[in-house]
Amino acid sequence: MADFETPELKEYPVIPLLHEGVMAHSKPFIAKEQFQEPLGFPGELVDNWQQVAYDKMEELTGKYRSLQVFLDACVKCGACTDKCHYYLGTSDPKNMPVARQDLYRKVYRRKFTFAGKYFPRLVGAVDLTKEVLDDWYSYFHQCSQCRRCSVYCPYGIDTAEISMAAREVMDTIGVGQKYCNEIIGKVFKIGNNLGLPEPALADTLEGLEEDIEDETGVKVRLPLDEKGADVLVVTPSADFFAEPHVDGLMGYAKVFHEAGLSWTLSSHASEAANFGMFIGSYENMRKLSLRVREAALDLGVKRIIFGECGHAWRVAYSFLNTLAGPFDFLDPNYPVPQHILEFTHDLIQRGGITLDKSANDDMRLTFHDSCNIARASRMGAKPGGQFTIPREVIKASCNHFFDMPQDTIHDATYCCGGGGGLLTDDLMEIRVKGALPRMEALKHVVDEHGVTHMAAICAICKSQFAKVMPYYGFQMDSIVSVHQLVSNAIVMGNKQ
């Protein structure tokens, strides 16, 4: 299958001993000029790259309090050292959150602190040499920015902030990552990560309408660019045809149909994902977000609802108002934006849809909390709604639900291993190894409760699990969308 060994699933999680440098070879493809330029980055390593990098580092610590405080505050207590799924899966010490941060911090210290300038050996400060840059490129692309370390740090130091800064510095000197930067360019040019143009999108949606009619006998619409619709739905483009994503999209359509709500997708904002966050570029993240605002204004909608996607929900929930607000032109009775699960959950509570749980009796389910939803956003009015709302929707749609062990769910959830811009074939080894803690937790409920399927609410999680689960002996179709369960269980035509 591949030129690396899949880690063994153990009965109980074990913190591995260090094996230095075992993942140093893991590097994603570098972005060529054509993928760098649309984002405003140089096409290759610039001549005076060292100085350009230092200048950028200085600019970033001046712009982000998080970065400035996090670089100063770490005391090397070691609390985070066993918290990263990539460390647990690889045993490479540079995948310990503090060691990953230190790749950046040691350069910050050398250039910008008294101790590092005058006593570099004492505090472990170094210049940004080519070797250090290589380490940056390797190990800052072994961080999925999942924020698990930030939960456990006594100062809340979030490695994601540091790897975002490092990637921004690397982009600025011309060392970008192909996967992320190519995708961002596609959104600028076409509107979505997959590069699916409007006619193809319209065609796909028509096909899905036919599928639903064949299956249920009910004509359910998946409207595109319909002016005057009440709700703009923004969803990850993987929902348009990847499995199991597309089953989720059909679920949204059925829910809207039953709710009798007029809604539309947009070809201009046909992507919920925002890879600008992964590369730490505020400007690119903002440009991507503005497409949602433009689409909402253009179509004259009253509300915006986001589909199942992890980091997209972080950008939508936490950043959209900042990046593309204010949304004073939308209906003030609803949050902007809303999550599709908030909408469906509310509908279930009010008896607005009828669900037949037995439709999912062929599955025994567990739920994977997506990192960006669990630790960087909320659903509903109360803190922690991001944990209860998806579970309540799942439990309303099926009879057999079992949670994975407590230290692997909610805000202690493990990343799928493919987030943060790592969902690319050139990083397969780190993706498989990074999935280890989640796979161990899954095995636990498979053994204890006979769980057959795991539901997720993130396009990246779904794609990642479909790909890596076979490495661990699970079926690739044992990952399902939450709205796929809703789609199976919803009783159509009930409310018309």
Partner 1 sequence: MPFWTIVYALLFYIATALLVGGLAYKIRQYAKTPAPLKIPTTPAPVTRQGVVLRMFREVAFFESLFRSNKWIWVFGYLFHFGMFLVLARHLRYFTNPVWTWVDLIQPFGLYAAFAMAAGLAGLWARRVFVDRVRYISALSDHLMLALLLAIALTGLGMDYITHTDIVALKAFFLGLMYFNWQPIPEDPLLLVHLGLVAALMIIFPVSKLLHAPGVFFSPTRNQVDNPRAEPGLRAHDSRHIAPWAAELDK
- Give every strand in the sheet of 365-367, ordered side by side: 365-367, 453-456, 479-481
Map the footprint of partner 1 across residues 26-65, applying CB under 8 A: 61-65
Closest contact distance (angstroms) between CB of 287 and partner 1 is 9
Q: Does 458 bind partner 1 (CB under 8 A)?
A: no
**Cβ nearer to partner 1, comparing 29 with 112:** 112
**Cβ nearer to partner 1, comparing 150 with 488:** 150
Among 259, 376, 446, 485, binds partner 1 (CB under 8 A): 376
Residue whose token pair is 């900042």? 322
Calculate the CA dihedral of residues 399, 405, 408, 412 and round it to 10 degrees.
100
Phi/psi region, residue 300 (left: phi>0; alpha: psi -120 to 50; beta: rest), is left
Closest contact distance (angstroms) between CB of 231 and partner 1 is 15
The stretch among 169-177, 224-232, 333-341, 415-423 that binds partner 1 (CB under 8 A) is 333-341
Closest contact distance (angstroms) between CB of 361 and partner 1 is 33
Distance of CA 230 to the CA centre of its chain: 27
Beta-carbon contacts of 120 under 8 Å, excluding residues fewer than 6 positions away, are 109, 110, 126
Q: Does 151 bind partner 1 (CB under 8 A)?
A: yes
**Cβ nearer to partner 1, comparing 211 with 411:** 411
The stretch among 12-20, 129-137, 208-216, 477-485 that binds partner 1 (CB under 8 A) is 12-20
Map the footprint of partner 1 across residues 268-287, applying CB under 8 A: 282-283, 286
Phi/psi region, residue 147 (left: phi>0; alpha: psi -120 to 50; beta: rest), is left
**Cβ nearer to partner 1, comparing 377 with 487:** 377
Q: Does 155 bind partner 1 (CB under 8 A)?
A: yes
Closest contact distance (angstroms) between CB of 227 and partner 1 is 22
Where would I find the H helices in 26-74?
A: 33-36, 49-63, 65-73
CA angle 51, 144, 466 (to 5 degrees): 140
User: Which residue type sits at 197?
Assistant: P
Give the integer Cα–Cα distance in Å for 136 and 369. Answer: 29
Residue 396, token pair as written in the block: 């309303």
Map the footprint of partner 1 across residues 106-135, applying CB under 8 A: 113-115, 119, 121-124
Among 6, 81, 366, 408, binds partner 1 (CB under 8 A): 81
**Cβ nearer to partner 1, comparing 159 with 344:** 159
Among 175, 336, 359, 436, binds partner 1 (CB under 8 A): 336
**Cβ nearer to partner 1, comparing 80 with 196:** 80
Closest contact distance (angstroms) between CB of 188 and partner 1 is 16
Give the integer Cα–Cα distance in Å for 312 and 317. Answer: 8
Q: Does 68 bind partner 1 (CB under 8 A)?
A: yes
Beta-carbon contacts of 453 under 8 Å, excluding residues fewer than 6 positions away, are 363, 364, 365, 366, 478, 479, 480
Map the footprint of partner 1 across residues 387-446, applying CB under 8 A: 387, 411
The stretch among 149-157, 189-197, 240-248, 444-452 that binds partner 1 (CB under 8 A) is 149-157
C-alpha count within 13 angstroms, C-beta hemisphere, residue 126: 11
**Cβ nearer to partner 1, comparing 357 with 410:** 410
Q: Based on the number of CB atoms within 10 Å of its own CB, is 316 exposed (0-12), middle (13-18) or buried (19 or more)?
A: buried
Among 161, 168, 247, 271, binds partner 1 (CB under 8 A): 161
C-alpha to C-alpha distances, 161 to 1, 98, 221, 404, nearest whole angstrom: 34, 13, 41, 28
Instruction: Give exposure, 132-151, as e/b (b: 16+ Cβ within 10 Å).
Output: bbebbbbbbbbbbbbbbbbb
**Cβ nearer to partner 1, comparing 78 with 217:** 78
Total number of residues that touch partner 1 (CB under 8 A): 81
Q: Are 233 and 265 in contact (CB under 8 A)?
A: yes
The stretch among 32-40, 312-320, 455-463, 465-473 that binds partner 1 (CB under 8 A) is 312-320
Q: Which regions of 172-308 does DSSP assign to beta strands (E)?
A: 231-234, 263-264, 303-306
Q: Does 75 bind partner 1 (CB under 8 A)?
A: yes
The stretch among 150-158, 187-195, 391-399, 481-489 that binds partner 1 (CB under 8 A) is 150-158
Q: Does 330 bind partner 1 (CB under 8 A)?
A: yes
**Cβ nearer to partner 1, comparing 19 with 219:** 19
Closest contact distance (angstroms) between CB of 317 and partner 1 is 6
